[in-house]
Amino acid sequence: MRQSPMRHMLAGLLIICSACAAAAQGNCPSAQFPVNSLRQLKSQGWTVADNDRRQALALGLLPCLSHPDPDLRDGLAFEGLSAMLRGKLLTAETQRQVYRITLAQLQSTEKDADGFAKPFAALVLSEVTRSDRLQSFLEPGDRVTLVNTAVAYVRGISDYRGFTSDEGWRHGVAHGADLLMQLTLNPAIAGEQLDTIVQAARAQIVPAQSHFYIYGESDRLARPVVFAARRGLLDAAYWQHFVDAVASPKPLATWGDAFASQAGLAQLHNTKGFFRATLSLVTQLNDPGVTALLLQPLNAALARLP
């Protein structure tokens, strides 16, 4: 017996609401999409012909973003969400649901000893932000909240674990920087917000705890800075002040003092890494506006470092 359109719509809503409940409750993997099913879908390029089932799949992947299994967390959950967002396979309402759930995760004050939940929420939010830039589905107030949340998250990062062979990636600084970069690319983000984003990236150029970046974090931090400069909303004086502030040896008296402590060596290492990554990106872009704002200050700053 053929179902009525109303019955079909209600059945679709039930599937999606079930996935929302699973996401809220943290069921991973969901009963509807067990691991073997997810692996098969991945091998098929995350192609799901039925629209309702596809939306439910996306929402059902969200709890897996904090799973300790790197294959499930990164290889399936994140890759699946990214593929569906980039392939424009999710409805505006599903994308808003993804936004709300991952935003709440990034804002959470609960202890996250494993350290996976927030970095991967930030990474998915970077994909959501990209989708919204290409075809908006967020309200202006949502973007303000997103900027404020992203900035607070990046500034507050104190877990600098990158990659381990048994646990995979955490990479909070890099994932947070990816979110900041996508925000800088959005023309709906205003000049004052750009400054807030740039200063958040600056706050992690030299991390706490005498930590040496070794997983490409400096490259990722360079991106929101350079793409903010590319917007042309912050003038040359702003960027000169920014570069000078990063190049300052403080709290050291001089850069020569860096060689007398582990903390100093880490500060010098990370500062050089950021400047080199930023200069490389400026050169690659070959954008006259960016070059005019950043090339000379960056070269001069690097020349001052030992």
In this predicted structure, what is the pLDDT of residue 268?
98
Could you read off the pLDDT of 31-41 as tens digits, one per residue?
999 999 999 99
DSSP state of 165: T
Please check the confidence at residue 18 and state whether its pLDDT lies above 70: no
In this model, does residue 20 exceed pLDDT 70?
Answer: no
Give Cβ neighbours of residue 146 (< 8 Å, ≥ 6 apart). Answer: 99, 103, 125, 129, 138, 183
Lowest mean pLDDT among 26-30, 108-112, 248-252, 280-284: 26-30
Q: 10 Å Cβ neighbour count for 177?
A: 30
- Is residue 223 within a helix (H) or strand (E), and if so which, with residue range? helix 217-230
- For residue 25, give Cα distances in angstroms to 163, 213, 230: 28, 35, 42
17 Cβ partners below 8 Å, 6+ apart?
none
- The percent of residues above 90 in pLDDT, for the chain, comes to 89
Phi and psi at residue 164, to the nearest 5°: -135, 150
> pLDDT-derived band of residue 19, with 50, 70 and 90 as boundaries?
very low
Distance separating alpha carbons of residues 154 and 149, to the nearest angstrom: 9
pLDDT tens for 256-297 read 999 999 999 999 999 999 999 999 999 999 999 999 999 999
Altogether, the residues listed in the chain come to a count of: 306
Domain ranges across the chain: 91-237
Mean pLDDT score of the chain: 93
pLDDT in tens, 184-200: 999 999 889 999 999 99
Do 171 and 119 form a contact (C-beta atoms < 8 A)? Answer: yes
Q: What is the mean pLDDT of residues 202-227?
A: 97
**For the segment 216-263, what is each residue's pLDDT rounded down to a tens digit?**
999 999 999 999 999 999 999 999 999 999 999 999 999 999 999 999
Sorting pLDDT into bands at 50, 70 and 90, what band is 111?
confident
Q: Which of 245, 252, 204, 248 is nearest to 224 (CA)?
A: 204
At 26, the pLDDT band (50, 70, 90 cuts) reads: low
Has residue 10 got a pLDDT over 90?
Answer: no
Percent of the chain with pLDDT over 70: 92
